[in-house]
């Protein structure tokens, strides 16, 4: 079989959720947007429900509708994008809770679904989604009278504990919401790690559940094992791959493995990444192409049938660093061609 195997450890996912939940004294939800960060929102959410999760967040209403079909009627599903034009029937039929971000969304929701649950998102400095301070001042009394499920905001720099934006946003959020009785939420994964001042009534971990930074202690959730298609001997001075970017410095053995940028292993990671044959490092050489990657196995005593690209030896963030990006992009780019294996006791 030439298809790589992506193993998703649901027990590790649950362990990460429990570890983050244990760092607070408040309720812990889970973010499963982008198809559970690329790992399958249906399987991810059902596993988290077994651990006690009762509230999920998705990006858009369409994701919420798909999730509702997977998890049934009980969990609360909140939509970060709010109540967009054309979403009314979906929000109503699938019992989704939009996080209202603008005056237009507030009017739309109150007129179309006056008795339907909703939350509110405030902009505390990220300038991305949410009501600005003057807008909130104008509508807060009216909105709070309708008893929203949550008032939330989002931290821009929580992955950097020392960034001055964190206390600045915290102070703004407190100024806008202190004294209200509605539950409040400010912290995703990074905010949880900033400490109890940021926890309020609900936290919303996302990437940390899936083994990503800034949750350094996270258990690895994904492993990617890639089959070797062909082995060849390359003489000193010969090139490998597109554009002759790698020239053999010695007589070498080269393995061609069955994955590439069409599978989410983005081209920019290039020669900054190793793969592993058991515990042995095997450098990626030459260009990452659409379906194939070449690796140097000269120093191996045995020819491998598969190599590990993600797993115990190398995290999504390590691969992301080599590509000049972040672990989120690697996770959410993992391709549809992989054979997916879900691991759980």
User: Catalytic residue numbers?
Assistant: 33, 242
C-alpha 187/C-alpha 179 separation (Å) is: 19
By DSSP bridging, strand 76-79 and strand 96-100 are parallel
CB contact set of 180 (below 8 Å; sequence gap of 6+): 140, 144, 151
Burial of 162 (0-12, 13-18, 19+ CB in 10 A): exposed
Alpha-carbon distances of 317 from 211, 218, 282, rounded to whole Å: 9, 12, 18
C-alpha 149/C-alpha 233 separation (Å) is: 64
C-alpha 224/C-alpha 240 separation (Å) is: 24
- The single residue listed with the structure tokens 């559970």 is 36
SS (H, E, C) 159-186: CCCCCCHHHHHHHHHHHHHCCCCCCEEC
CB neighbours (10 Å) of residue 117?
18
Q: Which of 131, 146, 213 is nearest to 181 (CA)?
A: 146
C-alpha 241/C-alpha 230 separation (Å) is: 14
233: which 2 tokens?
A: 């001997």
Phi, psi for 306 (deg, rounded to 5): -140, 160
C-alpha 311/C-alpha 313 separation (Å) is: 6
Phi, psi for 73 (deg, rounded to 5): -80, -15
Asked whether the beta carbons of 152 and 116 are under 8 A apart, the reply is no
């Amino acid at each position: 079989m030439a298809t790589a195997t992506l193993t998703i450890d649901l027990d590790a996912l649950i362990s990460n959720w429990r570890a983050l939940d244990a760092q607070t004294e408040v309720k812990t939800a889970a973010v499963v947007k982008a198809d559970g960060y690329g790992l399958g929102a249906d399987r991810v959410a059902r596993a988290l429900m077994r651990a006690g999760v009762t509230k999920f967040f998705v990006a858009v209403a369409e994701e919420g509708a798909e999730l509702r079909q997977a998890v049934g009627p009980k969990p609360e599903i909140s939509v970060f994008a709010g109540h967009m034009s054309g979403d009314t029937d979906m929000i109503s039929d699938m019992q989704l809770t939009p996080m209202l971000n603008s005056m237009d969304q507030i009017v739309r929701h109150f007129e179309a679904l006056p008795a339907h649950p909703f939350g509110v998102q405030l902009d505390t400095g990220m300038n991305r989604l949410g009501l600005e301070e003057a807008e909130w001042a104008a509508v807060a009394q009216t909105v709070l009278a309708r008893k929203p499920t949550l008032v939330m905001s989002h931290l821009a720099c929580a992955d950097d504990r020392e960034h001055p934006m964190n206390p600045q946003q915290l102070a703004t959020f407190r100024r806008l919401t202190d004294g209200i009785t509605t539950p409040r939420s400010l912290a995703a994964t990074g905010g949880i790690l900033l400490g109890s001042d940021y926890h309020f009534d609900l936290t919303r971990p996302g990437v940390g559940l899936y083994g990503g930074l800034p949750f350094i202690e996270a258990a690895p959730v994904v492993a990617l094992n890639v089959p070797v298609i062909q082995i060849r001997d390359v003489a000193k001075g010969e090139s490998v791959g597109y554009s002759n970017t790698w020239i053999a410095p010695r007589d070498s053995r080269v393995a061609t493995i069955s994955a590439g940028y069409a599978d989410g292993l983005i081209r920019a990671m290039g020669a900054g990444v190793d793969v592993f044959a058991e515990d042995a490092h095997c450098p990626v050489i030459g260009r990452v192409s659409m379906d194939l990657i070449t690796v140097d196995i000269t120093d191996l005593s045995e020819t491998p049938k598969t190599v590990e690209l993600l797993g115990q030896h190398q995290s999504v963030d390590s691969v992301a660093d080599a590509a000049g990006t972040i672990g989120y992009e690697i996770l959410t780019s993992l391709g549809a061609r992989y054979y997916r294996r879900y691991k759980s006791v």
